[in-house]
A = this chain, B = another copy of it.
Amino acid sequence: MRAITITEAEEPIQLTEVSMPTAGVGECLVKVKAAALNRRDQWIREGMYPGIRFGCVLGSDACGVVEEGPEKWNGKEVIINPNVNWGDDPEVQSSKYSVLGMPENGTLAEYISVPEHRLIAKPEHLNDEEAAALPLAGLTAFRATIKKGLAGPGKNVLITGAGGGVSQLAIQFTVAAGANTYVTSGDPDKIGKCIQMGAAGGFNYKEEDWFKEAAVIGFDVIVDSAGGNQMNNYLKVVKPGGRIIMYGSTTGYPEKLDVFRLFWSQAQIIGSTMGSDSEFEEMVRFVNDQKIRPTIDKVFELDNYLEAFNRFKAADHFGKIVLSITN
């Protein structure tokens, strides 16, 4: 079968012929119809991810059809929980934890074999590409906003970097939960699109003083994956006692974190990554109940995978970048 693997070549990602996986006991063989890219795929491409195993099939997200496995799954349309060995503690991943697609073979392939407990029925209101866009970003956004952020009715929520796949779902989840959701972006067009999606407003973080206007509103919850020196601005716009949820640090580490402001305002900086298996199920229920549709930036054919990765690398997308794998 064809799969995108990580290699030692100058261009580390290659569309190659690899052997078909087989379904072991309690596993299902899933024919992958669509798969989405995530930031970690690009990081692995750049050699910026710990423990890279060459030859590994990339990809954490997929929508597909079960072709082999326990009777009840036969022919079912499914999506895949990207957690490998989350473990028994709902709060924290185990020491054996990894994300599907490194070191375990991932979803950017025509077939994947997955333990059946990590399958869940594809939400019926989604097409294949939307369903493929949901798992990793949805799980990350759900834990960050709803579970750790406690974003609910009437809360003022700020989602930074509005165009990202996680951010898009974070906006949709918090709007659906009844929050007053604001966004930041470096691109006014993206802010406008978010307002069309139900956001109450937005701020251009390229304007040095964006935080002054934001501070007038005051945020109960801020959800961010950029990190860097903007973190001190978050401490200026978070309400006393508010929560800043960090699930990434793409712009690096803050140079001088204003600890005084942190303790005097009784604020919290809360780390969040992925989510538990039960949160994954809860997230999919929420998406079904609220009829949430992940924003798709663009769908690429598998053959054009390099174009898809390069679009991700350029970081100008709005929503998820998806590969169409099989018909």
Interface, chain A (partner B; CB < 8 A): 89, 91-93, 227, 231, 240-241, 246-249, 253-260, 262-273
Contacts and interface: CB of A to CB of B under 8 A. Distances in A.
A253 B258 CA distance: 6
Given A249-B263, A255-B256, 5 more contacts: A253-B256, A253-B257, A262-B271, A263-B273, A269-B270
B271 A227 contact: no
9 contacts: A92-B266, A246-B262, A249-B263, A253-B257, A253-B259, A262-B269, A266-B272, A267-B271, A268-B269
Question: Quick one: copies of this chain in the complex?
Answer: 2
A85 to B, nearest CB: 14
A154 B265 CA distance: 30
Contacts of A266: 91-93, 271-273
Given A240-B92, A268-B269, A254 B259 contact: yes
B268 A273 contact: no
Contacts of A267: 271
Given A92-B241, A241-B91, A263 B271 contact: yes
Contacts of A260: 249, 253
A248 B262 CA distance: 9
A277 to B, nearest CB: 15
Nearest to A239: B92
Nearest to A242: B92
Given A240-B93, A253-B256, A257-B254, A273 B269 contact: no
A53 to B, nearest CB: 19
A263 B240 contact: no
Contacts of A256: 253-255
Contacts of A89: 241
